[in-house]
Amino acid sequence: MNCDHPTVLTLALPTPLFRHFEYLAPADYTPAQNDALIPGIRVEVPFGRQTLVGILISKSHTASYPIEKLKPAYQALDAKPVIHGDILALCQFAAEYYQHPLGEVMMAALPQKLRASDGALPQTAYWQLTTEGKGLNSENFKRSPKQQTAWEVLLHSAPLAETALTAKQVDKSALKQLQKKNLAETFLADAQALPASQQVLNETPRTLNNEQQHALDTIRFHKFGCYLLEGITGSGKTEVYLQAIARVLQAGQQALVLVPEIGLTPQTVARFEERFAVPITQLHSNVAKGARLENWHSAFSGQARIVIGTRLAVFAPLPELGIIIVDEEHDLSFKQQEGLRYSARDLAIVRAKKNNIPLLLGSATPSLESLHNALQQRYHHLRLTQRAANAATPALQLLDMRKQPQHAGIAQASMDAISATLERGEQALVFINRRGFAPSLICQSCGWSAACKYCDARMTLHNSPRKLHCHHCGAMAYPPSQCPSCMNPALSALGQGTERAEETLQAAFNQHTVIRVDQDSMQRKNAMAELTQQLLEGQPCLLVGTQMLAKGHHFPNVTLVVIVDTDQGLLSGDFRGIERMGQQVIQVAGRAGRAEKPGTVIIQSYRPDHPLLTQLITEGYHNFAKSILGERASCRMPPYNHMALLRAESKRADNAKALLTKAAQIARQLQPPSPECSYLGPIPAFMERRNDRFRYQLQLQFSHRQTRTQLLQQLVEALNKEALSKRVRWSIDVDPQDM
Ligand code: ADP
Ligand code: ZN
Ligand code: ZN
């Protein structure tokens, strides 16, 4: 080693500290090994008494610390970078924008296995024919068509990766059979991207209607642009995605498709697989742990040409990325609500811009943020106003609950409509966004109600098994046999959840099947897939479920939707409550009449004359959303200004409040309140006590994003110096989605 010029490595490490760390190259490394230390690889280093894995950011011969104080790193873990330029830039952006340490952001961007020292980039299994195998002809496989397919595919190509073979419908067991007979062999190698000239489509795409064609023609490829595809449910947005993706694939590029957490149904994936002949990989938290690294790696190596995933996939490495699509862009699950509180949709925009490629945001009910950008012409606004196929748009009916006899929250008129639907041999869906039997258990003689010990919340009664659950902290308890306060033996279950609705409906329609769909009933792995299959068979039945039913599903035989309760959203304390209510109603309504038979949607409400609710129903989501935008503009709420929340929670309320009071003081000094910048708080969070912690927040609003970023950066730095900040759990939420 040249002692005059030691090699200094600057690393990002997963620690809560907002800075880089310097180390010397490992002491025993030769100059050649030092040269192999390139930015983007993982390096293992000592850190206090721990060993950490970090990412090499840069290499130089000078340090900002006295060089003799630097420790040598233990070892490099990769021969080639695992984080490339565009992902590094995306992480740097996210770290700054969301006020999160870069090392933690980068580790979050990597699959779990690579965050540890013993994880390594996997190699890929390739297959080729042996000399014996090449010498045969198809006559030899007459009795095993699967082996014949495998043999033919291998005969006409260079060594093929297993993923590519699967995409060509080659059966893995057939390959194993060929191997046994010494006709094919397999070997491990670094994955290579496939040649660009391969076949892209499996099936002929549909002919687009005029609106779809216009949308597709507007997209400029090989160039940054943000396109909001606002299309009613069933208008054929997915068909536009598929055809835009086809163009990108034909140009030899990859596509990234982000979908909501529960929108990634087997139906969605199947549609992509039917259309495309290229390898497709999935990235989401339900992918088995072992397969996650493999899937990530097939994107990384360029083998997978399409990546479909939930929010975390926004960080997926795609060396030839050509388009990003965010389906149901309004969906809350794109925002991570803990740790790095990023919005995958917003990061997708940043990524598309850095990569100079188009970004397509699709929704029937766009978020007010995206709609605002489209109306301001920052985005291209593409609209699909007709249902594709032959389906008519469903008729929405508002039902005044004040005049209706009821059965556990379901109006008589709704019951009649359900009955008529089932008699016609069709399916009906009852939407009730609360799981469990009843949201509260009360004593009607003294007013006692079952409350959670740890939260400011009532416990929900569940029936099978009969228990009280807190939906906020997970606490459970047996229901008392009598009122703990006045000994009244008769406690009443008040309000309705999915279990009670199921019970009521099953009793009323006892010749028909009633299926409950919620988190509790769908826990089994393939439950949703089995349900979908059952519904597609088309027998008359009745579905009762939560918003799990609202997304992405295509149930052609459902012709009636009943929305049990819309009033929660109208009365919500969160300023986004109304927007969410509107989105939910339209999304659920969109499940009705998706095929030839027309659909009806009954919306039950005790406030049927609420102006926004009536506007939603008579004029549709677009005008409804514009009205809310008007309200937001007049009180300068997002998207007309930029918000951040400083959240604090502690077992001792005083500590959390004191930290926020201090924060408000610091903020005021850094940036005095003005029309450009305002502070509100500390105020109690929506649920002041949760999981036995008291929660408060400071709300900060800015006219300019840049001012916000600067202030937050200084504020975090100052807060980190406060002793109290070590005793209180606190976090910053930039562009918060729930209050
Ligand atoms: P969205 O994503 O907007 O809800 P989809 O893309 O799922 O809508 O389309 C709804 C239905 O219409 C699907 O069954 C789809 O196959 C069909 N469809 C879409 N585009 C066309 C088209 N141009 N011609 C015929 N059918 C179409
Ligand atoms: Zn009582
Ligand atoms: Zn609780």
Does residue 76 surpass a pLDDT of 60?
Answer: yes
Antiparallel, parallel or unpaired: β 466-469 and 8-12: unpaired
**Residue 572 binned pLDDT confidence (cut-offs 50, 70, 90):** confident
The ligand that comes nearest to the alpha carbon of residue 442 is 2
Give the integer Cα–Cα distance in Å for 426 and 154: 48
The Cα angle at residue 612 between residues 607 and 614, in degrees rounded to 5? 65
Query: In 378-440, which ranges are continuous DSSP H helix?
Result: 412-423
Tally of helices (H runs) and strands (E runs) in the chain: 22, 32
**Residue 397 binned pLDDT confidence (cut-offs 50, 70, 90):** very high
Place of tokens 């290499």: 59
Give the integer Cα–Cα distance in Å for 276 and 28: 50
Antiparallel, parallel or unpaired: β 225-231 and 358-363: parallel
Contacts of 280 (CB under 8 A, 6+ apart): 167, 269, 272, 273, 304, 305, 306, 307, 308
Measured by CA distance, the residue closest to atom 14 of ligand 1 is: 389
Measured by CA distance, the residue closest to atom 20 of ligand 1 is: 236
Q: Give CA separation, 154 vs 51, 110, 273, 303, in Å.
A: 46, 33, 21, 17
Structure tokens at 308: 């479909």
Does residue 590 surpass a pLDDT of 90?
Answer: no
Q: Which pLDDT score is estimated for 234?
A: 86
What string of DSSP letters covers 467-514?
EEE-TTT--EEPPPSS-TTT--S-EEEES--HHHHHHHHHHHTTTSEE
Query: In 219-367, which ranges are continuous DSSP H helix?
Result: 237-250, 266-275, 289-300, 344-355
Q: Ligand 1: which residues within 6 Å by Cβ?
A: 206-209, 212, 231, 233-239, 388-389
Name which of 47-61, 151-165, 663-677 the model is least confident about.
Answer: 151-165
The ligand that comes nearest to the alpha carbon of residue 445 is 2
- Is the dihedral angle over the CA atoms 472, 477, 481, 483 positive or is it negative? negative
* CB-side neighbour CA atoms (13 Å) of 206: 16
Best residue among 216, 238, 330 to mutate for probing ligand 1's pocket (most ligand atoms within 8 Å of CB) is 238
**Is 635 labeled as ligand-binding?**
no
SS3 674: strand
Does residue 426 surpass a pLDDT of 50?
Answer: yes
Measured by CA distance, the residue closest to atom 4 of ligand 1 is: 234
Between the CA of 462 and the centroid of ligand 2 the distance, in Å, is 20
Measured by CA distance, the residue closest to atom 5 of ligand 1 is: 236
Q: Which pLDDT score is estimated for 614?
A: 94
Does residue 662 surpass a pLDDT of 90?
Answer: yes
Between the CA of 489 and the centroid of ligand 2 the distance, in Å, is 8
Residues with Cβ–ion distance below 5 A, ligand 3: 452, 454-455, 470, 472-473, 475
Nearest to 187 by CA among 127, 130, 131, 132: 127
The ligand that comes nearest to the alpha carbon of residue 231 is 1
Nearest to 375 by CA among 625, 113, 32: 625
The ligand that comes nearest to the alpha carbon of residue 459 is 3
Measured by CA distance, the residue closest to atom 11 of ligand 1 is: 234
Between the CA of 453 and the centroid of ligand 3 the distance, in Å, is 6
567: enclosing H helix or E strand: helix 567-571
Inter-residue contact 343 to 376 (CB < 8 Å): no
Does residue 446 surpass a pLDDT of 90?
Answer: yes
Measured by CA distance, the residue closest to atom 17 of ligand 1 is: 389
Does residue 3 surpass a pLDDT of 60?
Answer: no
- Is the dihedral angle over the CA atoms 347, 351, 354, 356 positive or is it negative? negative
Inter-residue contact 318 to 355 (CB < 8 Å): no
Inter-residue contact 141 to 174 (CB < 8 Å): no
Nearest to 301 by CA among 501, 499, 84: 84
Between the CA of 325 and the centroid of ligand 1 the distance, in Å, is 17
**Is 452 labeled as ligand-binding?**
yes
Contacts of 200 (CB under 8 A, 6+ apart): 246, 249, 250, 276, 277, 278
Which is more confidently placed, 290 or 293? 293
Nearest to 553 by CA among 517, 525, 583: 517
Best residue among 228, 233, 239, 387 to mutate for probing ligand 1's pocket (most ligand atoms within 8 Å of CB) is 239
Nearest to 23 by CA among 40, 4, 8: 8
Phi, psi of 421 (to 5 degrees): -65, -50
Q: Using the atom order of ligand 1, give the atom closest to the CA of residue 207.
A: 23
State the DSSP code for 449. B
**Is 443 labeled as ligand-binding?**
yes
Between the CA of 548 and the centroid of ligand 3 the distance, in Å, is 23
SS3 374: helix
Name which of 167-171, 421-425, 516-520, 699-703 the model is least confident about.
Answer: 167-171
Structure tokens at 149: 């397919």
Between the CA of 467 and the centroid of ligand 3 the distance, in Å, is 14
Antiparallel, parallel or unpaired: β 558-563 and 600-605: parallel
Question: For 199-217, how does the pLDDT look when each residue is reduced to its tens digit (9 = 90+)?
Answer: 888 888 899 999 999 999 9
Q: How many whole angstroms from its chain centre is CA 506?
A: 34
**Residue 1 binned pLDDT confidence (cut-offs 50, 70, 90):** very low
Give the integer Cα–Cα distance in Å for 663 and 697: 10
Question: For 480-529, how does the pLDDT look when each residue is reduced to its tens digit (9 = 90+)?
Answer: 999 999 999 999 999 999 999 999 999 999 999 999 988 888 887 778 77
Q: Using the atom order of ligand 1, give the atom closest to the CA of residue 241.
A: 6
Strands, E assignment, 162-219: 184-189
Name which of 88-92, 232-236, 343-347 the model is least confident about.
Answer: 232-236
Phi, psi of 564 (to 5 degrees): -70, -45
Inter-residue contact 160 to 126 (CB < 8 Å): yes
- What is the rounded average pLDDT of the residues 49-75? 93
Q: Using the atom order of ligand 1, give the atom closest to the CA of residue 232.
A: 3
Q: Which pLDDT score is estimated for 4?
A: 59
Phi, psi of 18 (to 5 degrees): -90, 60
Mean pLDDT of the chain: 91
Nearest to 318 by CA among 96, 86, 155, 488: 86
Q: Using the atom order of ligand 1, give the atom closest to the CA of residue 364.
A: 3
Amino acid at site 26: P
Between the CA of 389 and the centroid of ligand 1 the distance, in Å, is 6
Between the CA of 361 and the centroid of ligand 3 the distance, in Å, is 36
Antiparallel, parallel or unpaired: β 50-60 and 693-702: unpaired
Question: For 125-151, how does the pLDDT look when each residue is reduced to its tens digit (9 = 90+)?
Answer: 888 999 888 888 877 877 888 888 888
The ligand that comes nearest to the alpha carbon of residue 449 is 2
Does residue 265 surpass a pLDDT of 90?
Answer: no
- What is the rounded average pLDDT of the residues 29-41? 93
Q: Using the atom order of ligand 1, give the atom closest to the CA of residue 384.
A: 3
257: enclosing H helix or E strand: strand 254-258
Inter-residue contact 296 to 316 (CB < 8 Å): yes
Phi, psi of 355 (to 5 degrees): -90, -5
Contacts of 619 (CB under 8 A, 6+ apart): none
**Is 226 labeled as ligand-binding?**
no
SS3 517: strand
Place of tokens 């279950």: 493
ipTM given for this complex: 0.97
Which is more confidently placed, 654 or 266? 654
Does residue 67 surpass a pLDDT of 70?
Answer: yes
Does residue 552 surpass a pLDDT of 70?
Answer: no
Between the CA of 444 and the centroid of ligand 3 the distance, in Å, is 23
Inter-residue contact 260 to 333 (CB < 8 Å): yes
pLDDT above 90 as % of the chain: 70
Measured by CA distance, the residue closest to atom 23 of ligand 1 is: 208
- As to burial, measured by CB atoms within 10 angstroms (0-12 exposed, 13-18 middle, 19+ buried), residue 428 is buried
Q: Which pLDDT score is estimated for 263?
A: 67
Q: 668 — alpha (psi -120 to 50), left (phi > 0) or beta?
A: alpha
- Is the dihedral angle over the CA atoms 487, 489, 494, 500 positive or is it negative? positive
Give the integer Cα–Cα distance in Å for 151 and 133: 8
Question: For 153-197, how does the pLDDT look when each residue is reduced to its tens digit (9 = 90+)?
Answer: 888 887 888 877 887 788 888 899 899 989 999 888 776 666 555
Give the integer Cα–Cα distance in Å for 172 and 598: 44
**Is 91 labeled as ligand-binding?**
no
Between the CA of 492 and the centroid of ligand 2 the distance, in Å, is 10
Does residue 284 surpass a pLDDT of 60?
Answer: yes
Amino acid at site 342: Y
The ligand that comes nearest to the alpha carbon of residue 458 is 3
The ligand that comes nearest to the alpha carbon of residue 473 is 3
Inter-residue contact 152 to 139 (CB < 8 Å): no
Q: Using the atom order of ligand 1, give the atom closest to the CA of residue 208.
A: 23
**Is 541 labeled as ligand-binding?**
no
What predicted TM-score, i.e. pTM, was given to this entire model? 0.90
**Residue 565 binned pLDDT confidence (cut-offs 50, 70, 90):** confident
Between the CA of 449 and the centroid of ligand 2 the distance, in Å, is 8
Q: Which pLDDT score is estimated for 564?
A: 93
Between the CA of 408 and the centroid of ligand 3 the distance, in Å, is 25
Q: Using the atom order of ligand 1, give the atom closest to the CA of residue 389.
A: 26
